[in-house]
Copies of this chain bind each other. A is one copy, B any other.
């Protein structure tokens, strides 16, 4: 931690800061400069809350040097964490699994058709919401437990691993009975009660980045899961809120190499939410693989024009088949491989 003093700070001001640091059990190290003095806090393990220091007379700014997260950092664990959600479906290695399926589970016919189509095209996991966080209370909220049962049925029929969202503590326990991987959605990225519950349950978690979350916020939310002993965490970039409404969201693909430098956790990309428009999913899925994504999430619906939610961003089965073929070529071009048989 570095305490930057104002240009007109007195020696007494500097001494007061040094005393505050000593009181907390650390060693102050003053650094006089041409314009102003700074005081370093040597040996800080990252837990001192420096904001109160900003109130002392003569203090201009407090700069935090240590990262506030620990177990998620690459420094804590240098090698990649591999997250295995089902046999052969591994995130964080050289292979890139594809998770696909509809936004919502709507009916037995719809989810089975979806599962068969995405499996045939090359997906190794099925996504589909039984519980849907919707901006409006009047929008379709998902089939609930019935939806989970249909996902289980689709798994028995196709062998696909299941990824589905939990929205609260009670739901998380129920979802964990049916799913191979719990999804925590963007709107709940900082729902700390839910994070603690999911951490305790211990099943793999796919944690989506909030729509105005910094990468540090995302890593701190993942830290909640690791702090409960759950290291099987997959991060997901799905687009940020932006001033330009041409696209639904602003897809931040640079987050992929940035997270991979800072953390040992795998990061996947969701070009369906990232762009919000079906005709942009293919180029941006290719871009995500080329950027180094450890997995791809794509919304696919057997009849997008009849979908109960997110129809405009769902691919048809034919479009998805073409997408997987192109992703295979891009993955190969950078020395990786889309998970699954060719």
Query: Which residues from chain A sit less than 8 Å from chain B, CB to CB?
Result: 2, 4, 6-8, 20, 29, 31-36, 38, 40, 42-47, 49, 51-56, 61, 63, 65-70, 75, 133-139, 167-171, 187-188, 190-194, 210-212, 214-217, 220-221, 223-224, 227, 240-247, 250-254, 256-258, 261, 274-275, 277-280, 283-284, 286-292, 304-313, 326, 329-330, 332-334
Contacts and interface: CB of A to CB of B under 8 A. Distances in A.
Contacts of A49: 139, 308-309, 311
19 contacts: A2-B2, A29-B29, A31-B42, A52-B307, A54-B277, A55-B278, A55-B304, A68-B136, A137-B192, A138-B227, A168-B194, A188-B191, A214-B243, A214-B246, A243-B243, A250-B254, A251-B252, A257-B279, A286-B290
Given A217-B135, A312-B55, A2 B38 contact: yes
Nearest to A252: B250
A214 B31 contact: no
A258 B287 CA distance: 14
B55 A44 contact: no
A65 B46 contact: no
B334 A326 contact: yes
A8 B95 CA distance: 28
Contacts of A187: 190-192
Number of this chain's copies in the complex: 4
Contact of A245 (B6, B66, B245, B326): B245
Contacts of A170: 169
A305 B171 CA distance: 41
A70 to B, nearest CB: 8
A10 to B, nearest CB: 14
A35 B212 contact: no
8 A-B pairs with least C-beta separation:
A212-B212, A52-B311, A290-B290, A168-B193, A187-B190, A51-B312, A287-B291, A329-B333
A57 to B, nearest CB: 11
Given A254-B284, A275-B254, A311 B31 contact: no
Given A34-B44, A304-B55, A308-B49, A244 B224 contact: no
Contacts of A253: 251, 253, 284, 287
Nearest to A171: B193
Contacts of A280: 254, 257-258
A129 B77 CA distance: 35
A254 B251 contact: yes
A51 B280 CA distance: 15
A245 to B, nearest CB: 7
Nearest to A308: B49
Nearest to A67: B35
A289 B330 CA distance: 10
A307 to B, nearest CB: 6
Given A29-B31, A138-B227, A168-B191, 13 more contacts: A35-B45, A36-B65, A40-B40, A52-B311, A68-B138, A137-B192, A138-B223, A187-B191, A250-B252, A284-B291, A286-B291, A286-B334, A290-B291
